[in-house]
Every structure is written in structure tokens, then in C-alpha cells.
Amino acid sequence: MDKKKVAVPLVCHGHSRPVVDLFYSPVTPDGFFLISASKDSSPMLRNGETGDWIGTFEGHKGAVWSCGLDTNALRAATGSADFSAKVWDALTGDVLHSFEHKHIVRACAFSEDTHLLLTGGLEKVLRIYDLNRPDAPPREVDKSPGSIRTVAWLHSDQTILSSCTDMGGVRLWDVRSGKIVQTLETKSSVTSAEVSQDGRYITTADGSTVKFWDANYFGLVKSYDMPCTVESASLEPKYGNKFIAGGEDMWIHVFDFHTGEEITCNKGHHGPVHCVRFSPGGESYASGSEDGTIRIWQTGPLTNENTEALPANGSTGKVKVTAEEVSRKIEGFHIADEGKSGEKEEAGNE
């Protein structure tokens, strides 16, 4: 037990204010990517595997509360306190569309087919923008009962879900009729709602509870009490056997999905954790904090043989990673926490 190694994350510096949202793209031919939203008004794009900085999206004039990437990671979307949601070219960093709102935009999400953008915020209105006709007025879905905190698409873009800042529950809306078809009841306000990669579960964090809901029949599958108030939770996408949660105690807790037992606890942030997300292959997960850093943690546990077999596996220094290399790495391995000091530093050198 004493030999249990301390997890050494990749630490990604760059934001000057708290990191409040993180989003991983699916695996693309060029690897997978991580976008972060921060109160510093400058969302950043990174290589999802190494944490290396790729670019910063410049143009918002207020805190950015929400961020996302489309299925191919070719476009990014952000929602901001400057009363706008923006869609960006993720290759050049240029603004493609800027959608003005009448209040703070707290949440945004691309549809699975990438043609639509869903937004919500303090106006209490869910809007769907058609990105093929960006000048057309957006479709406004039936008024939300409160200020919108999270939004997501499910059921092949036939359903949208949303939670509110000032009341409990997650509401599900039928996109065609624009009406609420189901409410998942929670005591506290839901600060994080994630649809699992296979579409089976909705993972929610409310107060000091993480819940898993059946995404098709809407029943509560599991509910676990957390050691503190948690702001975000994410289910491991590949096997669905563990989940992570982060919140007020500054730690990233890893739990067994089936029993709710804590498997491990990662310490390193110097402020409350606002967002946690698993990478698309489940080999790592990222956390964003009040301390302005993003930390990327390897899922493990790895055996000693693996650790020795992977000497820093090409992710120290400023590496140029080719598409095949990224794809090959994603298919075949987990990075061990080798090269500790160099590894920790490398993601911060942009």
C-alpha cells in the first residue's frame, strides 16, 4: 500500500483567472483536443493527450463560462458574460459567427450533427441557432423556468437537456415540439450534466451528490453522496466502471461506478475544482480550478513494467506530434507518470 505512487498530473498554465469549463473533442484523425473556458475571457485549445497549448481564441470582452468543440474539432463554441455566444474556426482561431444575447450566456453546445448551436443563460431562454443559416433568427424553445446553467443534446439531437442555477432538477425538452417532456428531480441545483459517450447515462452533480440517470427511460440508476460539495462529475467513457468528481475540497476524487467506493483521490489544485472531464478514450481526465490551472491526470493504475516500458513516451519538451502518432498512441497505451518534473513543466511552456 505504501508503494502506491502519487499521481503527477500534466499542469497546463496559461489562464490568468479561474477555469470554469472544459470540453474534450471525440477522437479525430488528428488526435483529440481539449478546450477550456475561463473568467479571463480567453478560451484556449490544447492537444488533449499532451496538454500542449495550440492556440487562444481572442475576441470575448467578458468572462467565458462555457465552451465546446464540434464532432470533428473543426469549430469551437463559447458562451460569455459579454452577452454573446461565438463560433470559431478551431484551425485558425477566427470568429465565424457571433450571436448576441440580452444577458450573460452561461452554456452552449453543438448538436451531434454539428449543424446547430444550443445556448442558454441568465435570460432564461434556450435558443437553437442554425449554423447553415447563421443570419436567420434562432429558434426559441419554450421558456426555461430559471436561469440556465447547463445545456446538452441527446437522442441524436431530438432532445435537449438543461439545468438551472436557481433551482434543482434537469429538464428534458423535445426539440420538435419545444415542450418539456421529463424532469429529473434533484434537491440542489445541478451544476454539471454530462451525457455519456454511448448515450446510456446522464451524469449529474447537484450539491454533494452525484447521480446517474438512464438517458432513455429517465429512471435514477445510482446516487452517491460525495465527501464535499461537488461542482462537476464525469463518467469514464470506455468501460463505464468509474467516475470522477471535483468541487470545494480542491481534490479530484475517483470512484467505482458500481459501488460508489472511492478508488483514489488526486491532490494538486490550490482552489476549488470547477470542472472535471474524462478524455474520449478514458486514458486520462482533466480538471479545471479556481487556481487558473488545468491538470491532466492519467487514469492508471499502471504496473511497474508498463512504467518502465514507456520512457516519457514522446511527451516531454515541445513535441511535434503527427496525426498517425497520436492515433497510434490513443489506440495502444496509457502514459505513465514518468519524467515527473519535466513532464509537469512541459505543458506550461507556451
In tens, the pLDDT along 153-167 reads 999 999 999 999 999
Mean pLDDT, to the nearest integer, of 311-315? 33
pLDDT at 39 over 80: yes
Domain 11-298: CATH superfamily, name plus number: YVTN repeat-like/Quinoprotein amine dehydrogenase (2.130.10.10)
Report residue 338's pLDDT band, with 50, 70 and 90 as the boundaries: very low
48, 88, 32: which is closest to 64 by C-alpha? 88
Q: Using one digit for the tens of pLDDT, what is the confidence trace for 251-288?
A: 999 999 999 999 999 999 999 999 999 999 999 999 99
Q: Does the predicted model carry a pTM greater than 0.75?
A: yes
Cβ-based neighbour number of residue 340 at 10 Å: 12
pLDDT at 301 over 60: no
Cα gap 342→350, rounded to integer Å: 14
Q: What percent of the chain has pLDDT over 70?
A: 84
Cα gap 45→65, rounded to integer Å: 15
Cα gap 106→339, rounded to integer Å: 38
Instruction: For the chain, report the end-to-end CA distance as a whole number of angstroms.
Output: 37
Instruction: Tell me what pLDDT residue 4 has.
Output: 57
* Residue 219, burial from CB neighbour count under 10 angstroms (0-12, 13-18, 19+): exposed
Which strands form 159-164's sheet, in the order they lie side by side? Answer: 148-154, 159-164, 168-174, 179-195, 201-206, 209-214, 220-225
